[in-house]
Amino acid sequence: MISFLKHFNQKIGKTVSLVMVFVLTAYALYRGLSADLKFIDYLIGIIYVVVFSAMILISAVKGKQLLAHLILLIAFYDNSVRAFFDWVFTIGSNEFEFSWQILIMVVISVYLILQIVSLILAGVKLEIKWSKTLGLVALLFVFFALSNSITESVSLILIPLLAVMMYAPLVSTLGVIVTTAAFPINMVYGLFNDQKYTGEGFFTTILATLLLVLAVIHFTKIVKTNKV
Rounded to 5 degrees, φ, ψ at 77 are -125, 20
Residue 162 has pLDDT above 90, yes or no: yes
Over residues 49-60, mean pLDDT: 95
Report how far residue 156's alpha carbon sits from residue 150's, in angstroms, rounded to the nearest whole number: 10
Report how far residue 160's alpha carbon sits from residue 173's, in angstroms, rounded to the nearest whole number: 7
Cβ atoms 111, 148 nearer than 8 A: no
- Percentage of the chain beyond pLDDT 90 is 46
Q: Residue 89: pLDDT band by 50, 70, 90 thresholds?
A: low
- Average pLDDT of the chain is 86
Report how far residue 115's alpha carbon sits from residue 10's, in angstroms, rounded to the nearest whole number: 10
